[in-house]
């Protein structure tokens, strides 16, 4: 059995989540040796695809673990989950950043012979090692068993993400309880894949992060960048704002948002015998799926430390209408069937409510957001 005592000590002390990142097999060796991971997005800065990639970064908390799923290839560890690693914190925050110029540390996937056949990975973070070796879970059937038993849930296995209509996600997030399940898989079915002789990221990569010049083409993904773009009307920007507040609870805007959502949700939770919002939002999942049989994704899902309950955030850039409410009811009904032992709730968040005869539903809250004069976002229950 593999000894992961340092990783266990960390995760049990912090109750952290884990993020599984799809890593192109040709990029994998450099990524592991340098401690830097990058992934692509469609479109340009400011588009919905861009903000979705930013939401994946904002969802990585300062204590969270990182696993790398190495894609197809002949090398040991390909088509397997590799790890464990941990997000690297620099200057007191997770080292999340974006680099469109790519001059100093190019990361790209070569899909053909020419320079035009490159897919650049501009959305990036630094990670570090928790052990002096890394491993892969060599038996994928054991991983699939955990999906089938719903000990791991919320996403498709990465091996089938690009099959048929399933949308491939570069980063998927798992709860603390699921992280513990995956660590046990490493212990029971892990195979050593490499040694880490020096701590990663190395000094050169740390300097690269520190010396990144803040501009439209390169920036640290932090609260300053978030508030500097508060006028964005893309609903995926709201993902970023909410997720940042949930994952970074020390800041002033985070405390304000958490207090408002507590005031809105705690009476509903209490009515159903559930925990308070602070506890109910221990884990944050972005664009989770209810069932592998559906293409539908839930914008944001939060769960308590033990996954005893789920709260689903349905986010609208525009008005909350009857269609959004009925869709949310259907999703909650399906969630109740799939997770029969869990309490399920929903927050529908939009910039207004267009249902004139709206009647409150016991496990749903409608919340209107608005931009404030001080450059933040306010939330009001309807």
The enclosing domain of 103 has a CATH number of 3.10.590.10
- pLDDT digits over 281-334, tens only? 999 999 998 887 777 889 999 999 999 999 999 999 899 999 999 999 999 999
- Is pLDDT above 80 for 109? yes
- Rounded alpha-carbon distances, angstroms, from residue 317 to 9, 32, 181, 243, 363: 41, 38, 36, 16, 22
Integer distance in angstroms from the first to the last C-alpha of the chain? 54
228 is a domain residue: no
Sheet with 364-371, side-by-side order of all strands: 283-289, 297-303, 309-315, 343-350, 364-371, 377-381
Does the pLDDT at position 19 exceed 60? yes
Based on the number of CB atoms within 10 Å of its own CB, is 48 exposed (0-12), middle (13-18) or buried (19 or more)? middle
For residue range 41-90, list pLDDT tens digits in order: 887 888 888 999 999 999 999 999 999 999 989 999 999 999 999 999 99
Distance separating alpha carbons of residues 254 and 98, to the nearest angstrom: 22
Q: What is the CATH number of the domain that holds 297?
A: 3.40.1350
Task: State pTM to two decimals.
Answer: 0.95
Are the C-beta atoms of residues 330 and 239 closer than 8 Å to each other? no
Torsion of CA 326, 330, 336, 342, to 10 degrees: -50
Final residue in a domain of this structure, among 189, 221, 253: 221
Of 157, 189, 221, the one marking the end of a domain is: 221
Start-end of H helices in 167-295 = 176-189, 203-210, 223-228, 235-247, 252-271, 277-280
Average pLDDT for 181-197? 94
Q: How many separate domains does the chain show? A: 2
Range of 101's domain?
5-221
What pLDDT is attached to residue 164?
A: 42
Helix axes 252-271, 235-247, angle to 10 degrees: 90
Distance CA 33, CA 196 (A): 8
The answer to whether position 75 is within a domain reads: yes
Residues 370, 270 within the same domain: yes
My answer on whether 65 and 89 are in the same domain is: yes
Question: Has residue 226 been placed in a domain?
Answer: no
302 belongs to a structural domain: yes
Q: Are residues 71 and 164 in the same domain?
A: yes
Domain boundary among 221, 254, 285: 221
Q: What is the pLDDT of residues 265-278, one digit of tens each?
A: 999 999 999 999 99
Is the backbone of residue 235 left (phi > 0), alpha (psi -120 to 50) or beta?
alpha
Question: Looking at the structure, do residues 123 and 261 belong to the same domain, yes or no?
Answer: no
- pLDDT (tens digit, 9 = 90+) per residue, 110-168? 888 888 888 899 999 999 999 999 999 999 999 999 998 999 998 877 666 544 434 56
In a domain, 229, yes or no: no
């Amino acid at each position: 059995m593999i000894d992961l005592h340092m990783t266990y000590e960390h995760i049990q002390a912090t109750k952290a989540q884990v993020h599984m990142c799809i890593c192109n097999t040709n990029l994998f060796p450099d990524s592991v040796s340098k401690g830097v991971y990058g992934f692509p997005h469609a479109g340009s800065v400011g588009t919905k695809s861009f903000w979705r990639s930013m939401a994946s970064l904002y969802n990585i908390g300062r204590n969270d673990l990182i696993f790398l799923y190495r894609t197809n290839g002949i090398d040991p560890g390909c088509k397997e989950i590799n790890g464990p690693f941990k997000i690297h914190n620099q200057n007191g925050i997770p080292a999340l950043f974006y680099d469109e110029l790519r001059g100093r540390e190019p990361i790209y996937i070569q899909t053909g012979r020419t320079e035009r056949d490159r897919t650049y990975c501009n959305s990036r973070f630094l990670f570090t090692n928790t052990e002096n070796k890394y491993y892969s879970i060599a038996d994928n059937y054991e991983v699939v068993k955990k999906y089938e038993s719903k000990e791991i849930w919320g996403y498709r296995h990465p091996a089938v993400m690009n099959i048929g209509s399933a949308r491939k996600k570069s980063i998927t997030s798992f709860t603390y309880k699921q992280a513990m399940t995956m660590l046990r898989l490493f212990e029971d079915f892990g195979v050593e894949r490499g040694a880490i002789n020096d701590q990663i990221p190395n000094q050169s990569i740390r300097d690269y992060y520190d010396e990144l010049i803040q501009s439209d083409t390169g920036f640290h993904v932090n609260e300053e960048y978030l508030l500097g773009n508060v006028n964005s009307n893309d609903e995926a920007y709201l993902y970023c704002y909410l997720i940042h507040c949930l994952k970074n609870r020390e800041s002033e805007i985070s405390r304000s948002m958490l207090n408002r959502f507590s005031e809105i949700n705690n009476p509903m939770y209490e009515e159903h015998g559930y925990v308070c919002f602070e506890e109910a939002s221990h884990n944050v999942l972005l664009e989770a799926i209810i069932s592998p049989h559906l293409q539908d994704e839930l914008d944001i899902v939060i769960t308590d430390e033990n996954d005893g309950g789920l709260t689903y955030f349905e986010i609208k850039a525009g008005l909350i209408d009857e269609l959004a409410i009925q869709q949310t009811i259907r999703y909650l009904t399906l969630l109740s069937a799939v997770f029969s032992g869990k309490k399920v709730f929903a927050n529908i968040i939009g910039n207004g409510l267009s249902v004139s005869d709206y009647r409150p539903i016991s496990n749903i809250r409608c919340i209107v957001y608005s931009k404030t004069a001080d450059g933040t976002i306010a939330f009001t229950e309807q």
